Structure 1
Amino acid sequence: MKLWIYPLMVVFAASCYGTLSTMVKLAIGEGYSASEAISSQYIIGFLLATVLYMATQRKLPRFHGGFKVILLAGIFTAATGIVYGQALIYLPASLAVVMLFQFTWIGTLIDCIVRRRLPTRPEFISLLVLFVGTILAAGVLDVDLSGIDWRGWVYGFAAAVTFALNMNINAKQVDGMNTTTRLFLVSFIAMIMIALFQTPEIVWNGKLFTESLFIYGLALGLLGIIIPIYFFVIAVPKVGGAMSSILSAMELPVAVMVSVIVLSETLSWLQVVGILVILTGMTIPTYADIRKKKKLKVV
């Protein structure tokens, strides 16, 4: 049973990410910009990480090596939010999700390059299944692709690359640093990035703490910073960057289902089939890996 814990943690963390697009849409519906919603996510996420760190640690954070890993994790975490937010400006939401989900094969490719290996058969089959499922679940077959601004494609692909890089960076452990400290430092670096490229003025103009934007920021901070980073830091090193990228495909079914429940968006039978296909594709490499580990234990 323990063999399933870490893959499930990755799936749960990715599921949290799947709720973010709906919350950003709700914030936009109340008159806030996407930039303000994203800024509130990272600012409040850092504040929550600070409270958690102060409540559990009794000393200042120290590096015992691994500064590059922490720095890159913070940069890629923030970069994904920034470029994906830009992609949503130029692309339909369904197509933006499809572009983001290119991280599944990009993450596997990066892992193969880093480890100097070829994709395993279960990984290759899983990626093919996930690609088909993603197209169906996102409803792209009903989207008119003519006249879409080229910047949308660029930002969407950039979001996929930064998310894949972030997943592979999380696969690297930092000796002598616990999860809470790593969360604190990564969220701090991510907040600095957001302050440079988004709308940090929501802090000093009072908008963040006096309006409903704080509620959205709190939800986005919990589900977009605290929970996923904490779980990824623990689970990804155990699961591996390639498999984590595949398991994170759970984000799409959750994004579709939340939008249907909260935003009352329609769900076609093709999308239902796509969700089932994605769930099937996710289980292929995990099941193969667990069977392999069990066989090794028997031997």
Structure 2
Amino acid sequence: MTLKGILLVLLGACSFGILSTFVKLAYAEGYSLGDVTGTQALFGAVLLWSIFLIQRKIQPANHPKPVIKTHWIKLVAAGFFTGLVSLSYYQCVKLIPASVAIILLMQFVWISVLLEFIFFKKRPSRSQVLAIAFILVGTVAASGYFEQTGTALSIAGIGYGFVAALCYAIFLMLNGNLGNEYPPLQKSALMITGACLLIFIILPPSFLFNGALAGSLLKWGLILAIFGTVIPPLCFASGIPKIGLTLSSILSSAELPVAVSMSAIVLNEQVNFLRWIGVIIILTAMIIPNLENLKKANSFSKT
């Protein structure tokens, strides 16, 4: 366990957390869902493949090559769910406040537990059930349900948020069970390539021909690609092996307060005290199930 590993995982989580704010700013300049998701996926794929090829070129000739068992097409197909996450989450951000959209995305925690039970017959532990209850209570508070503002959240926006959470949970399940023998950069590049293909099929990349890249779309696409598809995989690939999966899961929850804070500071969205309490409840729910595993890991390392 090293400070470097902790900082890397935190950087990756915080990088994810600022995406929704940048997406809102891009929408404010008139860009569409296809522009935002398409440029992020395209630039992300180009950057990841470039870094991977450079890394492979500078590796020593005697560097051991991994034994590949998973066909690359499976990783590209798994990347479709990354594309679905981007499409549904960024559409959610378009319809409701970014500070609420991130709350809906965090529902992937209990959805992941449900999927494990359905597909792998893995019963949730008591701490997981308690965490799910906390997440549901925290979601109600953090969403602003108790605020008497007279404005209702978009039902479609809420729906897209839950679809994003479901797709993210499926992606995590596939990511944890497919292609672990690949170098992390290559695996990420293959998945982002799949995401790019799916996005281009659903929303053809008109920005490549209509001159949008000559404007600020180039800037937003690069920002979203760097903070959404390049920095997190690189940080997690380097940081998680240093500190372990359990502590990494706890630190990754930093994405939530970062996203809500950016929404309040940059977008001037109202996040009152009760909503912050909801955020804290959700964070607590995400941390508690991992504390026991962290204690076990620490005691094991001492022995």
Q: Do they fold alike, i.e. is TM over 0.5?
A: yes
* Matched residue, 2:292: 288
Structure 1 Cα separation of the partners of residues 96 and 280 of structure 2: 25
Partner of 1:85: 90
Structure-2 change in CA distance of 1:122 and 1:10 (3 Å): farther
Query: Is residue 260 from structure 1 mapped to residue 264 from structure 2 by the alignment?
Result: yes
* Alignment partner, residue 167 of structure 2: 162
2:45 and 2:196 in contact (8 A); partners too: yes
1:98–1:135 CA contact under 8 A, matched in 2:
no
**1:181-192 correspondence runs (5 A):** 181-192=186-197
Q: CA deviation at 1:291?
A: 1.2
Counterpart-to-counterpart distance in 1, 2:107 and 2:208: 34
**One-letter code aligned to 2:297:** K
Aligned partner of 2:245 in structure 1 is: 239
Alpha carbons of 1:273 and 1:4: their partners in 2 closer, same or farther (altered >3 Å)?
A: farther
1:135 aligns to 2:140 (yes or no): yes
- For the 8 Å contact 1:97–1:138, the answer to whether it is kept is no
Q: How does 1:166-185 map to 2 (within 5 A)?
A: 166-172=171-177, 174=179, 176-185=181-190
Counterpart CA distance in 2 for 1:164 and 1:247 is 18
Distance 1:172 1:9, change over 3 A: farther
Whole-angstrom CA distance in 2 between matches of 1:204 and 1:62: 40
Q: Is the 8 A contact 2:98 2:263 kept in 1?
A: no
How far apart in 1 are the matches of 2:67 and 2:40? 26
Matched-pair contact (CA < 8 Å) for 2:16–2:255:
yes
**Aligned residue among 212, 216, 221 for 2:220:** 216
C-alpha deviation, 1:78, in angstroms: 0.5
What one-letter code is carried by the residue in structure 2 that aligns with 1:266?
Q
Normalization by structure 2: what TM-score? 0.81
Q: Secondary structure at the match of 1:263?
A: coil
SS of aligned partner of 1:58: helix
Distance 1:5 1:286, change over 3 A: farther
The answer to whether the Cα contact below 8 Å between 2:44 and 2:225 also exists between their aligned partners in 1 is: yes
2:228 paired with 1:229: no
Q: 1:106 to 1:65 in 2, by over 3 A?
A: same
Of 277, 280, 283, the match for 1:276: 280
SS in 2 for 1:80: helix
Q: Residue 105 of structure 1 aligns with which residue?
A: 110
For structure 2, the 5+ residue unaligned runs are 59-64
Contact 1:9–1:231 at 8 Å: present in 2 too? yes
Deviation at 1:224, TM superposition (A): 1.2
Task: Give the distance between the partners of 1:172 and 1:137, measured in 2 at CA.
Answer: 32
Identical columns (%): 32
| Aligned AA (1:55) | I
Listed one character per residue, the Cα deviations across residues 15-74 of structure 1 (whole Å, up to 9, x for unaligned) are 322211110110111221233112111111112112212211239x99923236413431
Greater Cα shift, 100-109 or 114-123: 114-123
Match of 2:209 in 1: 204
Q: What are the ranges of 5 or more consecutive residues in structure 1 without an aligned counterpart?
A: none
Return the alpha-carbon distance in structure 2 between the equivalents of residues 261 and 13 of structure 1. Answer: 20
Report the number of matched residues.
Answer: 291
* Superposed displacement of residue 226, structure 1: 1.4
Q: Which residue of 1 aligns with 2:31?
A: 32
Structure 2 vs 1, CA of residues 28 and 175 (structure 1 numbering), >3 Å: closer, same or farther?
Answer: closer
CA distance in 1, matches of 2:150, 2:164: 22
Between 27-36 and 65-74, report the one with greater CA deviation: 65-74
Length-normalised TM-score, structure 1: 0.82
